[in-house]
Amino acid sequence: MFDDDIRWIQRFDNFSKAIGHLENALHIPSPDLVQKAGIIQFFEMSFELAWNMLKDYLEEQGFVDIKSPRSAIKKAFEMNILEDGHDWMDLLQDRNLTAHTYDEQKATEMELLIRDKYFPVMKALHDSFRDRRDGK
């Protein structure tokens, strides 16, 4: 089987692009409201791809009971794929709130959480799976 046929690797490639966009957006100094909305959108896309990549990887490892982001995060933490289980659960909870971020204060709070707490844990996952993909 070619790497291109492995579902988690396909998902990783998309996750890699999304987190790259998020990283670029986080380099914007003093983002305005529209830029914060973009940061939040890139965060949402990155998270969706991250948990689905975890799900695909865990399924390849023989775990077929992964049906939700919460179950993927829990199993990945149990398997020592994720180091920061509590941060990932916080990330999931806050991700669920981003759809309800309507005012500038909430957007600013979320942008700071993404910048300071959530991007680093997603970047660590990205780097770990890049190494898995590359056989390191």
Q: For the chain, give the mean pLDDT.
A: 91
What is the pTM (predicted TM-score) of this model? 0.91
- Per-residue pLDDT averaged across 89-98, rounded? 86
Q: Tens of pLDDT along 20-41?
A: 999 999 999 999 989 999 999 9
Q: Tens of pLDDT along 32-72?
A: 989 999 999 999 999 999 999 999 999 999 999 999 999 99
Q: How many domains does the chain have?
A: 1
pLDDT the model gives residue 107: 84
Residue range(s) defining the domain that contains residue 83:
3-133
pLDDT the model gives residue 51: 96
- Per-residue pLDDT averaged across 94-122, rounded? 86
pLDDT the model gives residue 135: 87
pLDDT the model gives residue 1: 47
Of 71, 36, 76, 80, the residue nearest 58 (C-alpha): 76
Look up the CATH number of the domain holding residue 112: 1.20.120.330
